[in-house]
Chains A and B, each alone.
Chain A
């Protein structure tokens, strides 16, 4: 559990971005919004970096179809 609700909000926003990007191609406006969000604080950048590292790792796990 995240004991800091602020951290959790940042984490959830990072997930929002990754999930959006997974489902659609982000427009230039979207990318600018993401960069603006990242530029706000080093916390945003750190948490986003953790989220995308985890996202990358989960992408390496074969799906059920690929395993059988």
Chain B
């Protein structure tokens, strides 16, 4: 008897009310007592999920805000130094400001995907990268202009505006593709691209030949390229 009470407390009330022991009543009673439990449990679960979501969203919002402020602070306070980094690559100060502005926009977009703990070195590196890109592109475009003037039908694939937001979806896919690579290939590519090392330096660090490093870098980029080509492109 004692065991029965413990196993099924709701049954206890049925035993103490023998006059109401008809099947229909028992069923109703069972449902009503369980419905209460059921409702209470669901309520608790909903409240718990809701709180977790709220706490997470709140935490994230605070993080994002802190990061935005930190980023803005770097771009305001370190602007002269960042312009210097760009100007050094570009060979003049004319476009340096523009490159820094471009870096700000791209980094704001990109860092919604990553956490950066060393923002100053990251920002400086991105500014330098973008200055190199700018340098190449302006030389490339002026060469195409010269061609066009010669009557050649060389239209540039895209006359992208100088300051352009990145394709965040593409960036996320690139990150994913790099993570799919064998560890050593991924590491070699990271040292080369983000670590700003030469192939020879990467080879020394990893204890492999420069030729292998060259292949690993190509593999990494080709893998990303193929994955980007495979994605469904939004209609333009």
Interface residues of A (CB under 8 A from B): 1-2, 11-12, 15, 19, 21-23, 31, 34-35, 38-39, 42, 45-46, 49-52, 54-68
Our pick among A21, A23, A38, A54 for the contact of B174 (Cβ within 8 Å) is: A54
Find out whether the CB atom of B116 lies under 8 angstroms from the CB atom of A58.
no
B125 to chain A: closest CB distance in Å? 8
Find out whether the CB atom of A58 lies under 8 angstroms from the CB atom of B117.
no
Interface residues of B (CB under 8 A from A): 106-107, 110, 114-119, 121-122, 125-126, 129-130, 132-133, 136-137, 139-140, 143-144, 147, 152, 154-158, 166-167, 170-171, 174-175, 178, 189-195, 198-199, 214, 217-218, 221-222, 224-226, 228
B19 to chain A: closest CB distance in Å? 73
Our pick among B122, B147, B171, B222 for the contact of A57 (Cβ within 8 Å) is: B171
Our pick among A11, A23, A31, A58 for the contact of B199 (Cβ within 8 Å) is: A23
Find out whether the CB atom of A62 lies under 8 angstroms from the CB atom of B130.
no
Q: Report the bound CA distance from A63 to B124 in whole Å.
A: 13
Our pick among B106, B118, B133, B175 for the contact of A66 (Cβ within 8 Å) is: B118
A21-B130 contact given A57-B166, A65-B195, CB 8 Å threshold: no
Find out whether the CB atom of A50 lies under 8 angstroms from the CB atom of B193.
no
A54-B224 contact given A62-B114, A63-B194, CB 8 Å threshold: yes
16 contacts between A and B (CB under 8 A): A22-B132, A35-B144, A39-B152, A39-B154, A51-B225, A56-B129, A56-B130, A58-B193, A58-B194, A60-B106, A61-B114, A61-B171, A62-B114, A63-B122, A63-B195, A67-B118
Instruction: Report chain A residues within 8 Å CB of B167.
Output: 57
Find out whether the CB atom of A35 lies under 8 angstroms from the CB atom of B225.
no
A29 to chain B: closest CB distance in Å? 13
Instruction: Report chain A residues within 8 Å CB of B152.
Output: 39
Instruction: Report chain B residues within 8 Å CB of A62.
Output: 114, 116, 118, 122, 194
Our pick among B106, B133, B189, B194 for the contact of A52 (Cβ within 8 Å) is: B133
Q: Report the bound CA distance from A39 to B199 in whole Å.
A: 29
Instruction: Report chain B residues within 8 Å CB of A12.
Output: 218
Leading 6 A-B pairs by shortest Cβ distance: A63-B194, A35-B143, A59-B129, A60-B110, A66-B122, A66-B118
Q: A45-B157, A57-B167, A58-B224 are in contact. List 4 more A-B contacts (CB 8 A).
A: A22-B192, A60-B171, A61-B175, A66-B116
Q: Report the bound CA distance from A52 to B132 in whole Å.
A: 11
Our pick among B116, B175, B194 for the contact of A59 (Cβ within 8 Å) is: B194
Find out whether the CB atom of A38 lies under 8 angstroms from the CB atom of B144.
yes
Q: Report the bound CA distance from A64 to B179 in whole Å.
A: 13
Q: Report the bound CA distance from A40 to B171 in whole Å.
A: 30
Q: Report the bound CA distance from A23 to B175 in whole Å.
A: 23
A1 to chain B: closest CB distance in Å? 7
Q: Report the bound CA distance from A32 to B199 in whole Å.
A: 24
